[in-house]
Amino acid sequence: MMRAVLALLLVLFNAPLLAAPMLRGTGDLGLVIERASGSVLIVDTTHHTRIARVEGLGDISHASVVYSRDERYAFVFGRDGGLTKIDMLEQRIVKRIIQAGNSIGGAISDDGTLIAVSNYEPGGVRVFDTETLDPVADLPATYGDGKALSKTVGLVDIPGRAFVFSLWDAGETWIADFSEGNAPKITRLKDVGTNPYDGLVTGNGRHYIAGLFGEDGLSHIDLWAATPEPAKILAGYRKNDPAMPVYKMPHLEGWAEADGLFVLPAIGRNEVLLLDDRTFAEAGSIPVHGQPVFAMARPDGRQVWVNFAPPNNDTIQVIDVPSQKVVATLKPGPAVLHMEFAPRGHEVWMSVRDADEIQVWNTRTLEKVATLSAMKPSGIFFTARAHRTGL
């Protein structure tokens, strides 16, 4: 009898017991990309622990992640065109599609219903339903004679069920507005500059800034304007430069807004640049240890943490924003690729790829408080991103 009951229990509850779905809150979870192995780690940011590894995500070099508004599901954008939906509680892939041949990042709409993916091949943006990953809209990035397709970059969400992205080949920025339904209204802004390579939007969804690979400066668009228009900012900031080689293009995702300033990594120069956050005029620069890759503001904006391109990628510098001074130079280890702050900023997590480690640092004492093992970790993404615009 008892054996029969146990057998029945095993049949009934086997899957949940083995897959260990957890009754727990999801606000303090995160994902760490392990790109060499095509896997991700689910982590608990309160207890500094690893919960599970999920495998089978394909090529996730340069991968990024957004979250459903309930913070249960992660959407991982792979380099191979893969879009993978992960259940953080059941620790498994819910669905995985190959939606293009080559892609770079994505975004989730403010109401949580749409996932947009930025594709290189075929050039354009594809939009999917977050519940099912069924296709909702296909936006080929046509330009010129209308036959060629541009690679798309710098895809962000903005309020009003809309997305903004830029066309590398066309030098355009598009606004795709899904507020009236799943057939979007597209606004094409031309002449944003030569070869936009990445973009960001400010936390309020107002200012879109594209980095330009093909010219010396950046493009700024005020999305609140009645007729948004691109304007060049920081034009010529590299004009005095002795053509220093660029070791790695800085990431714009990490740009920091702090204390009335934007702090951003300079391209190919050992400094971060300061922009006035109202006028977008250059407001100075701060010399740093190497070529910056990410310049990320602690959520309160009082500090900016910077990592660097090779050969200086074993180092992190901490800038005190009010005094505009580097106040600490840390050496976490070889290949510090990415950082993610706790939502209220008391700690920061960082990937130290070549040490196969995730490190957690206290942002006040500047001391390391925990180390977790990970296989060649790169990007770190916490579920709190679900509640923020433009990530």
Residues within the interface to a copy of itself (CB under 8 A): 1, 4-5, 8-9, 12, 21-29, 45-46, 67-73, 88-90, 110-112, 159-161, 179, 204-206, 224, 260, 278, 299-302, 322, 342-347, 364, 383-384, 386-389
Shortest gap between Cβ of 261 and a copy of itself (angstroms)?
12
What is the DSSP secondary structure assignment for residue 15, as one 8-state letter?
Answer: H
Beta-strand ranges (E) seen in 223-315 are 230-233, 256-258, 261-265, 271-276, 282-287, 292-297, 303-308
One-letter amino acid at 211 equals G
One-letter amino acid at 157 equals D
Shortest gap between Cβ of 240 and a copy of itself (angstroms)?
31
Task: Report the C-alpha gap between 391 and 388 in whole angstroms.
Answer: 7
Task: Report the C-alpha gap between 186 and 220 in whole angstroms.
Answer: 19
- Which of 107/273 has CB closer to a copy of itself? 107
- Which of 261/355 has CB closer to a copy of itself? 261
- Which of 110/357 has CB closer to a copy of itself? 110
Task: Report the C-alpha gap between 269 and 244 in whole angstroms.
Answer: 7
- Which of 325/388 has CB closer to a copy of itself? 388
Are 78 and 58 spatial neighbours (Cβ–Cβ below 8 Å)? yes
- Which of 67/168 has CB closer to a copy of itself? 67
Shortest gap between Cβ of 376 and a copy of itself (angstroms)?
28
Residue count of the chain: 391
Name beta bridge partners: 107: 116
Shortest gap between Cβ of 316 and a copy of itself (angstroms)?
19
Shortest gap between Cβ of 11 and a copy of itself (angstroms)?
11
Residue 27's nearest CA partner among 385, 389, 391 is 385
Residue 231's nearest CA partner among 193, 265, 276 is 193
Q: How many CB atoms lie within 10 A of CB 55?
A: 10
- Which of 122/160 has CB closer to a copy of itself? 160
- Which of 32/149 has CB closer to a copy of itself? 32
Shortest gap between Cβ of 268 and a copy of itself (angstroms)?
31
Are 18 and 9 spatial neighbours (Cβ–Cβ below 8 Å)? no
Cis peptide leading into residue 140 (ω within 30°)? no
Count of H-run helices and E-run strands, the chain? 1, 34
- Which of 132/179 has CB closer to a copy of itself? 179
Name beta bridge partners: 341: 348
- Which of 73/361 has CB closer to a copy of itself? 73
Shortest gap between Cβ of 387 and a copy of itself (angstroms)?
4
Shortest gap between Cβ of 263 and a copy of itself (angstroms)?
14
Task: Report the C-alpha gap between 358 and 371 in whole angstroms.
Answer: 6
One-letter amino acid at 390 equals G
Shortest gap between Cβ of 248 and a copy of itself (angstroms)?
30
Give long-range contacts, CB 8 A cutoff, 24+ apart: 324-327. Answer: 324/274, 324/284, 324/286, 325/286, 326/286, 326/287, 326/288, 326/289, 327/303
